Amino acid sequence: MPIALLALALSAFAIGTTEFVIMGLLPEVAGDLVVSLPDAGWLISGYALGVAIGAPIMAIVTARLPRKTCLALLMVIFIIGNVLCALTYSYGLLMIARVVTALCLGAFFGTRAVVVAGLVPPNRGASAVALMFTGLTLANVLGVPAGTWLGQLFGWRATFWCVSLLGAAALLALLVSLPAQRNAAPAILAREMSALRNGRRLLSLLMTVFFAAAMFTLFSYIAPLLLQVTHISDRGVSWTLFLIGAGLTVGNLLEGRLADWRVSVALILSFALIALFSVLFRWTSGTLWPAEITLFFWAMATFCTVSALQFNVVAHGNDAPNLVSTLNISAFNIGNALGAWVGGQVIDAGLGLTMVPLATGGLALGGLLICLVTFSRPPRRPLTA
């Protein structure tokens, strides 16, 4: 594999860490900035909306740039955003810094996918893409728990300083290792927009929204739930996040085979399992080991859904690949923002942290319903690999 792929994987690790680590640091950020947990949760929603809105805009703005220049520019924006996060002592400025950081994510991953295709022979494409996903997976397995532990030990700003250094290392690696690539002709936007009139494409994107909303309703408030309901220590939160990351990794490994066999079955089963383990966590969250075991299986079921959703969207949008891929990133982050908002509303309503998993289960059932509607008729072309 070209060394440039490792540079791209490092970039994915840094970007994934800065997106998800805020969830482990939510109590520290809320306490330091003197805001409520639901208000701090808006830092998750703000980032997600920044990605959702910024992804198509940045894709259009950077469409004519050489790909190496584009990726380098986006990493510079990423570094600036994280440095601003580390420097600010104001909730409003932190929100702005998070949104600035978010602008690079959607366009970076979209451009990166095209760059990867040009770095390896066609018969190595799948392995190259798997390596790219490894960076994002490791962000959940290592980056988030390590960043949470670091923030608890030295203050949450230390985590953003470290992520900024990771971004700088990734930028240097990209500049040194990435070959110059000519840009392909930009897609005709009007033609791609017309391709979205197919109802199955819109339902596929809606599945992604409900999946992300279900995931982030619980994930956004997992740290305060573990501290106040399960009654584990700060260090225990870091270890639990590591366990969740391990579950995500196992799920990512398992779901590929199931989705290769039949993507409809993979999605229906995944949404059903997310709902089941979310509701189960409502009753196991008060006891350490049952809570940990439930969270592991919840995480495994959750990441069983990611690649199947991506495969489903691409299968229904192969005549509008650029726009559909970008909109899928936006759909995921709209769901991210919605999930953090739903969890905050549950807490604000005085229902308690233990009701957050039930809200997660309800959203997963909504995604399951959309799956059943989408796959109730045979698709025009089989959704099997």
Considering only residues 16 and 329, tell me which one the structure prediction assigns the higher pLDDT.
16
98-152, pLDDT tens digit by residue?
A: 988 888 777 777 666 667 656 666 555 545 555 666 677 788 778 889 999 999 9
156 and 251 in one domain? no
Q: Give pTM, 2 decimals.
A: 0.75
Contact 373, 202 (CB under 8 A): no
Domain stop point among 186, 213, 229:
186
232 and 178 in one domain? no
Contacts of 130 (CB under 8 A, 6+ apart): none
160 and 14 in one domain? yes
Contacts of 344 (CB under 8 A, 6+ apart): 37, 38, 39, 41, 42, 220, 221
Domain that holds residue 181: 1-186
> CA–CA separation, 301 vs 271, rounded Å?
8
One DSSP character per residue, 53-98 reads HHHHHHHHHTTTS-HHHHHHHHHHHHHHHHHHHHH---HHHHHHHH
Tell me the Cα Rg of the chain: 20
359 and 250 in one domain? yes
Q: How many percent of the chain have pLDDT more than 90?
A: 37
25-34, pLDDT tens digit by residue?
A: 999 999 999 9
Question: Domain with 111 in it: what CATH number?
Answer: 1.20.1250.20
How many independent structural domains does the chain possess? 2
Domain stop point among 164, 186, 208:
186
167 and 47 in one domain? yes
Considering only residues 62 and 232, tell me which one the structure prediction assigns the higher pLDDT.
232
pLDDT-derived band at 279 (thresholds 50, 70, 90) equals: very high
> CA–CA separation, 34 vs 16, rounded Å?
26
Q: Is the pLDDT of residue 381 over 60?
A: no
97 and 179 in one domain? yes
228 and 145 in one domain? no
206 and 324 in one domain? yes
What's the mean per-residue pLDDT of the chain? 82
200 and 174 in one domain? no
- Could you write out the three-class secondary structure of 266-279? HHHHHHHHHHHHHH
238 and 102 in one domain? no
One DSSP character per residue, 170-214 reads HHHHHHHHPPP-PPPPPP-HHHHHHGGG-HHHHHHHHHHHHHHHH
User: Which residue type sits at 246?
Assistant: A
Position 179 scores a pLDDT of 78
Domain stop point among 137, 164, 186:
186
Q: Is the pLDDT of residue 355 over 70?
A: yes
Contact 252, 133 (CB under 8 A): yes
The tokens for 93 are 């400025």
Position 136 scores a pLDDT of 74
224 and 177 in one domain? no
167 and 22 in one domain? yes
